[in-house]
Structure 1
Amino acid sequence: MSPPHRDRVWLLAAVLLLYSGGALSHHVSVPPGPLYRTEGSTLSLWCNTSSPSVAAYEWSMFPAHSPGRKLQIVSSADPGFSYAVFRDRVLDRRIYLERATEASTRLHMLRLQKEDAGEYECYAPSPTLRYYRSYCASVTLTVIPDSLHVSLLSPQELTLYTDDPLTLSCEVFSRTEQHTHFSVSWYRQDSAQPLLTLSELSVVSAGSPYKKRHQAGEIRLEKVSAILYHLIVSSLEPDDQAKYYCQATEWIQDPDKTWYPLTTKRSHGTRVHVVSPRSALLGGAAVFPLFLQKHSLEIIYTKMAVGLPSRLCTFLEAVLSNCCSKSAFENKRNPENPLCDVSGPQPGEEPNRCPALYPPVIAPSSDVDNALHHVISMK
C-alpha cells in the first residue's frame, strides 16, 4: 500500500471514530462472578463504562428459578422502567441507583430476598448505539441463608472484685457451605469503639482507649477453638464495670479477591460489677447480692445469700468457726472476733444452727481494714 493511500485509510478511521462518539472503544463491565450474598443483607453492584457518553444505566435480571424470563429492575432515565415485582421496592428506595462517577453507577438492593438470586445485567447504551452486545455485561448472584450464630456463653450478670481476672466467652459459627471467615469484636455498651477486634484475616487490634492495656497484655482476645473466642482481662479495675457483648461478621472472598461482609450479628450482654472487698462487706445485702462462679461460702444476711471470693471465704470461715466454738449460742458478742454478732438463735428456730450465721454487726472500719489488709496480702 502506497504511503498516500495508507494515510487516507488512517484519516477515514479517525473520522469514523470522531463521528461515532468513541463508540468503537466503548464497553461495559460489572464485577466478576459468581457472587454470594445472604438473605436480608445488602447487594451493591457497580457498572463501569469506558466512556462517560452514556444515555442511561438500566439494570435487569434473569431469575434463577426462571432463567428465560427477563425482569426490568431500575433505570437511571425512565421512572416507569421497573416491573411490578420490583416497583414497590424502587419507590421506597429499597432498590436504587447511585451515580458514582461520570462513567460508573452502582445498583443497591436492601434486604435481599431468596427470589433475588439470578443473573444481573447492566445495559448502558450510548447515544450512538450500534450493537447491543457492546453495551451490556452481566454477573450471577446466589442468595444463601443467613446462618451466622453469635452467642455469649456467660451469665447476664457477674460481680467480681478489683484485681480479679475476668474471662468472657463468645461462640461464633455458621452453617453455610461457602468458605467464609469471621471477624469478632468485643464491646462495652457505653462505648462505640471496640475493646479488641480479631479481623477476618486473624489480625488483633485494640480500640483507642484500650491500646495501652492491650500492649501491656492486660486485656487479650484469644481464639481458643474453631468457634470459641475469649475476652480476657487479667486484673479488673473499677472502671471496667460495664455491660459487655461480642459482635461477629461473616466475610466471603469475591472472585476479584476482595473480602465482602455478608452479615453482622451481636450477642446479648453480660453486666460486670466490679467492687472492692471492703465495700462488699460493709454493704452487705443492702447493696447487692454477689453471684460468683467460684467456690464460695454462703453467709446469710437477712436470708440473702452472698458469695465471696475464696481469699475472703478462708478468712470468714475461720471467723465464723471461732464465733461458734467460743460463744456456743451465748447471747453475746465475741470480743475476739468483732466482725461477728453471735446473738443466738431466734425463738422457734433450730438450736443447732450456728449463731454466727445471723446478721453480723460490722466492727469499726479500722478493724475491717486491718482484717482485709491481712487477707488480701495472702492472695
Structure 2
Amino acid sequence: MNESLIYTYLLLVSVSFGCVLELQWCVCREVTLPAGPLYRVAGFSLSLPCTVSGYEGPRTQDFEWYLYREDAGGRQIAVVSTRDVGFPYAPFQGRVQAGEVRVERDSGDKARLIIQRLRPDDQGRYECYTPSTDTRFLGNYSSSVEVKVIPDTLLITHSRILSGQPVTEGTELQLTCAASVQSDQHTHVSVTFGVRSSGGAESLGHNLREIIAIDRELRVTPGHSGGYGKRYRDGEIALEKRKGDGARDLYVMKMSALAPGDSGSYFCEAVQWIRDPDGKWERIAQRTMELGNLTVQPLG
C-alpha cells in the first residue's frame, strides 16, 4: 500500500473515531409525544403528555402547544404556553382564561396539554415545542401528533329504577342497564354497577363502592371493597351481558340476598374505551345512570 493511501486511511479512521466520540458525549434534546393518530370523543377531555429529555439548562423546562387544523391550509394556531399568558390565538384565548384549556405538569420536563371539553374543530395535528435552554442547537425541539375528534354516541338507559320503598334483609335485587355505542373506530364498552352509601360515620371519605363490572375485555370483576369479592365467589352476586333490541346490550346484575349494608343510592356506569397506537387502553367517553335509592331493613 503506498504512502498516500495509508495517509488517507489513517485520516478516515481518525475522523470516524472523532465522530463517535462526539456522538457519545453529545447531549441532544428530544421531545416526544404519544404515537398517533389519537381518537377522542367530542365533549370529553384530551390529555396529551409531552416529554423533553437530553437538554441542558434548568430542570424545569417550558412547553408551548400549537394546532394545525386540516382546513386551515397549514396555518399555525397557538394554543397555550407555560411561559407566556398572551400566547394563545383568538380561538383559544377564552378557553385558556377559563381554565378549560391548560397545561398541567407531571414534572419539570414533562407536561400535559389538557382540553376539558373537545370540540369538533379541535381536530388536527398538535405540536409540542420546547424553547431552547441549550448551549448548542442539537436534537429535536418539537414533536407532533394527529388528534381525531369523533362524535359522542355512547348511550345508557335503564328498564326501571328503585322505588325507594324499604325492603327486608334477604330480599333479592335485580337491576338492568342497557348500553350501546356507534363508532367507525374499534372501541369497547365496560359497564359497572355501584352504590353510594346513604351516610353514617363509617362511610365518611369512602361512600362510593363498585359492586361488580364487565370490563372492556368482557371479564366479570367484583368490587374490591364491601366484601363483594367473597359474595361473588359464593354466587350471591352475578352480572350477565345479554343481547337487547337493536345495537343495545343489556347488563343484568343480581344480588341474591340483600344485607343492611347494601342500603344506598345505586348507579350504572358505562365507559367507552379505545386502544391507542402505543397499545394502551384509553377511556374516551363515560356516562352514569342513577338507578334510585334502596333501604334494607334488618330482620327482627
So what's the TM-score if we normalise by structure 1? Answer: 0.64
2:272 aligned with 1:250: yes
CA offsets, 1:233-291, max 9 Å, x none? 112334434332211111111111111101211112233354589x9xxxxxxxxxxxx
The answer to which structure, 1 or 2, has the higher relative contact order (CA under 8 A, 6+ apart) is 2
State the match for 1:365 in structure 2.
none
State the match for 2:196 in structure 1.
189
State the match for 2:233 in structure 1.
215
Provide the C-alpha distance between the structure 2 equivalents of 1:35 and 1:109, rounded to a whole number of angstroms: 14
Deviation at 1:179, TM superposition (A): 1.5
Q: Tell me if structure 1 keeps the 8 A contact 2:56–2:135.
A: no
2:222 aligned with 1:200: no
Q: Greater shift after overlay, 191-200 or 155-164?
A: 155-164
Q: Tell me if structure 1 keeps the 8 A contact 2:259–2:298.
A: no
Question: Across the two proteins, how many residue pairs are aligned to each other?
Answer: 273
Q: Tell me if structure 2 keeps the 8 A contact 1:183–1:198.
A: yes
| Match of residue 249, structure 2, among 209, 222, 227 | 227
Write 1 or 2 for the structure with the bigger share of helix.
1
SS in structure 2 of the partner of residue 269 of structure 1: strand
Q: Tell me if structure 2 keeps the 8 A contact 1:51–1:103.
A: no
Deviation at 1:11, TM superposition (A): 4.1
2:38 aligned with 1:22: no
SS in structure 2 of the partner of residue 6 of structure 1: helix
SS in structure 1 of the partner of residue 208 of structure 2: coil
CA offsets, 1:31-75, max 9 Å, x none? 111111112211111222331337642210111332422101122
Change beyond 3 A, Cα 1:161–1:109: same
CA offsets, 1:160-198, max 9 Å, x none? 544332211011111222221112111112131211122
Provide the C-alpha distance between the structure 2 equivalents of 1:98 and 1:66, rounded to a whole number of angstroms: 27
1:140-159 alignment runs, 5 A limit: 140-157=146-163
2:124 aligned with 1:118: yes
| Match of residue 39, structure 1, among 34, 39, 42 | 42
Provide the C-alpha distance between the structure 1 equivalents of 2:184 and 2:53, rounded to a whole number of angstroms: 37
Deviation at 1:222, TM superposition (A): 1.5
Q: Tell me if structure 2 keeps the 8 A contact 1:67–1:118.
A: no
| Coordinate RMSD, CA, aligned | 2.9
Change beyond 3 A, Cα 1:50–1:276: closer
Provide the C-alpha distance between the structure 1 equivalents of 2:260 and 2:27, rounded to a whole number of angstroms: 69
Provide the C-alpha distance between the structure 2 equivalents of 1:156 and 1:169, rounded to a whole number of angstroms: 11
State the match for 2:88 in structure 1.
82
2:189 aligned with 1:167: no
SS in structure 1 of the partner of residue 144 of structure 2: strand
1:1-379 alignment runs, 5 A limit: 1=8, 3=10, 6-7=13-14, 10-11=17-18, 14=21, 22-23=27-28, 26-53=29-56, 56-126=62-132, 127-128=134-135, 130=137, 134-157=140-163, 160-190=167-197, 191-207=207-223, 208-209=225-226, 210-225=228-243, 227-274=249-296
Q: Work out which of the two has the higher radius of gyration on C-alpha atoms and give 1 or 2.
A: 1
Q: Tell me if structure 2 keeps the 8 A contact 1:151–1:268.
A: no
CA offsets, 1:122-167, max 9 Å, x none? 1224335648x93222111111222211122113416554433221
Aligned residue type for 2:163: E
Q: Tell me if structure 2 keeps the 8 A contact 1:185–1:198.
A: yes
So what's the TM-score if we normalise by structure 2? Answer: 0.79
Write 1 or 2 for the structure with the bigger share of strand.
2
Q: Tell me if structure 1 keeps the 8 A contact 2:80–2:103.
A: yes
Change beyond 3 A, Cα 1:164–1:66: same
Q: Which structure 2 residue ranges, 5 or more long, are not aligned?
A: 1-7, 198-206
Provide the C-alpha distance between the structure 1 equivalents of 2:259 and 2:110, rounded to a whole number of angstroms: 52
Deviation at 1:77, TM superposition (A): 2.6
Identity %: 32
Q: Tell me if structure 2 keeps the 8 A contact 1:39–1:112.
A: yes
SS in structure 2 of the partner of residue 115 of structure 1: helix
CA offsets, 1:286-334, max 9 Å, x none? xxxxxxxxxxxxxxxxxxxxxxxxxxxxxxxxxxxxxxxxxxxxxxxxx
